[in-house]
């Protein structure tokens, strides 16, 4: 089987499952941190195969993808990478964003890059000079090529428990392999519950820019702006 990983869509949980299924690492050793680095090499990736083998795999193997409301995913990426524990990995990006989009930025902010606002992040994403988007906010169409790869099953984050169970049973995973649930010890509020708080800060012109930028992701996978907003964005 082939699974297209998309960051900020339960990527850590999926990697935990597939590393476990590979049988090379005891599942008790895995956590949502080390699956991205220490044990990452225990998975096979399509790009490592010769092009002819890649074509055969994409033709013969079952193919799966799980998507999420694009705007909710962007907020999840911001909260994790610029306002959460993942910040240290994105310090340079933070410094660049503040330098480009904050007037009269303090010397401390320019040196640390640790207080990027959500509006500044959105300005960065929608700016014409921004190139080579990080995978955490890159478009689904670019990451997983849904117009050329014929996926057998498209799951959604909004129904992740049901869809993950279907995928695991469909690939013949042992019944003891279950999709990891959100831990009770996980204290960060779920992104969907903070959506209005953050997006109400964004002027309408930037909502339109974001929509135009991620429009194909919305339309290909059946999402709409009405799914996202219960409030009217500020003008």
Q: Could you give phi then psi for residue 4, rounded to 5 degrees?
A: -90, 110
pLDDT by residue, tens only, the chain of 235 residues: 999 999 999 998 999 898 888 888 888 888 887 888 888 888 899 999 999 999 999 999 999 999 999 999 999 999 999 987 666 789 999 999 999 999 999 999 999 988 999 999 999 999 999 988 999 999 999 999 999 999 999 999 999 999 999 999 999 999 989 888 765 444 567 888 889 999 999 999 999 999 999 999 999 999 988 877 764 444 4
Give the model's pLDDT for residue 86. 61
Distance of alpha carbon 138 from its chain centroid, rounded?
A: 8
Hunting for tokens 């960065």 — which residue is that?
124
Contact criterion met (CB below 8 Å) for 152 and 58: no
| C-alpha 105 chain-centroid distance | 29
Burial class from Cβ neighbours inside 10 Å (0-12, 13-18, 19+) for residue 102 reads middle
The CA distance from 192 to 16, in Å, is 23
Domain residue limits, the chain: 2-228
Q: What pTM does this model have? A: 0.89
Neighbours of 204 (CB within 10 A): 11
Which tokens hold the place of 107?
A: 């010397």
Torsion-angle region of 142 (φ positive above 0: left; ψ -120 to 50: alpha; else: beta): alpha
The kind and range of the H/E element at 178 are none
Rounded to whole angstroms, the Cα distance separating 150 from 160 reads 21
pLDDT at 233: 42
Q: What is the pLDDT of residue 184?
A: 46
Looking at residue 39, its pLDDT comes to: 85
Q: What is the pLDDT of residue 42?
A: 84
Distance, first Cα to last Cα, the chain: 46
């Amino acid at each position: 089987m082939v699974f297209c990983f998309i960051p900020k869509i339960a990527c850590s949980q999926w990697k935990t499952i597939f590393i476990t299924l590979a049988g090379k690492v005891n599942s008790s050793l895995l956590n949502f941190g080390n699956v991205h680095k220490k044990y990452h090499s225990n998975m096979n990736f399509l790009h490592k195969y010769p092009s002819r083998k890649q074509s055969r795999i994409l033709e013969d193997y079952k193919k799966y993808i799980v998507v999420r409301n694009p705007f909710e995913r962007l907020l999840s990426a911001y909260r994790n990478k610029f306002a959460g524990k993942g910040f240290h990995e994105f310090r340079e990006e933070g410094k660049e964003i503040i330098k480009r989009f904050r007037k009269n930025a303090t010397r401390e902010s320019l040196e640390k890059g640790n207080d990027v606002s959500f509006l500044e992040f959105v300005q960065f994403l929608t700016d014409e000079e921004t190139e080579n988007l990080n995978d955490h906010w890159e478009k689904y169409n670019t990451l997983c090529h849904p117009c050329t790869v014929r996926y057998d099953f498209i799951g959604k984050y909004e129904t992740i428990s049901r869809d993950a169970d279907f995928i695991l049973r469909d690939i013949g995973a042992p019944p003891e392999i279950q999709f990891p649930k959100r831990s009770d010890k996980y204290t960060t509020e779920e992104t969907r519950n903070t959506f209005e708080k953050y997006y109400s800060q964004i002027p309408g012109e930037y909502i339109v820019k974001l929509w135009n930028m991620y429009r194909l992701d919305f339309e290909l996978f059946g999402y709409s702006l009405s799914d996202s907003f219960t409030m009217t964005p500020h003008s």
